[in-house]
Each structure stands twice: as C-alpha cells, then as structure tokens.
Amino acid sequence: METVTLIIKSMHYIIPVAFVGIIIYTMIKNKKTDKQQQTILNDPLYIDAEILQVVPGTPSADGIVNIRLKYQYPLPNGEMMVQDNVLTAIETMDLFKFQKGLPIPVICLKSDPRQNMLKMRNILEVRLEDHRWPWQKKKQ
C-alpha cells in the first residue's frame, strides 16, 4: 500500500517531467530532420519516382489519399538502388494528377542517395502547419 501511495504522491513530478521529455524529444527530432533536408538541398540529385498504386481503403473523411511510390537511384559504386513502397499522402482533389505510372520528383543527396526526400510535400504536414488552434487568432 505504501508503494501505491508513494506513486500517487509523486505524480505531480512524474507527469510534468514526462511532458517536458516529450517536447524535448520532438524538438530534437525536428532539428535532425531539418538538418538532413538542408544537407540534401546543398548537394542534390534529382530523380523521378513512379506511382505504384493509390492505397485501397482511402480517401479518409478528411479528403486525404495515400499513394505508394517506387524509385531507383545510382550508388557511388555504379549499382542501382531501388526504394520500393514509399508511402506519402495527397489530397483527394489532386488525385487526377497522380495516376498509376506517372513520375513524381524526388531529391537525393549525391554522395549518399539513401538520404532522400520527396519534392512534393506530404499533405498531412501541410494541414498541420495551416491548422489554427483554438487559442490562436484568425489568420488574415
């Protein structure tokens, strides 16, 4: 019984520490992603990805459709590396632009093509950036 009481009494310390830990983890992860994207954009290699399929079971209620991509790029030793089943999200309104077999631009790092990013933005990230939280003022 003493252990349970001790845990309950220490909850006002545990919860804020966990919350701050999650925030710090998210900030570090975003910083790494931004640094990787900047590295890729400093020494880019542009290639085209092929749309494999529009994922069954989508669109969602929010009008988002998932698509699967496949692309290949040359390694420094001359071999071709294939990235298969890369998943990204698009809006339902843009679905006619993304038919099976059409190319989508991908940017890779020349020295290490395994570090890559899609040239198009993932619609889920765009919506999150444009989202207005209840405490924010209206954008004009």
Q: What's the pLDDT score for residue 16?
A: 92
Q: The whole model's pTM is what?
A: 0.54
Neighbours of 113 (CB within 10 A): 21
What distance in Å separates the CA atoms of residue 85 and residue 44, rounded to the nearest whole number? 22
Mean pLDDT split into 10-residue runs, the chain, 140 residues: 85 92 94 86 83 73 79 78 78 76 80 69 58 62
Q: What's the pLDDT score for residue 129?
A: 60
What distance in Å separates the CA atoms of residue 3 and residue 57, rounded to the nearest whole number? 47
Q: What's the pLDDT score for residue 50?
A: 85
What distance in Å separates the CA atoms of residue 40 and residue 129, rounded to the nearest whole number? 22
Q: What's the pLDDT score for residue 71?
A: 82
Q: What's the pLDDT score for residue 67?
A: 82
Q: What's the pLDDT score for residue 21?
A: 96
SS3 121: coil
Q: Which residues contact 103 (CB under 8 A, 6 or more apart)?
A: 48, 49, 50, 51
Q: What's the pLDDT score for residue 94?
A: 72
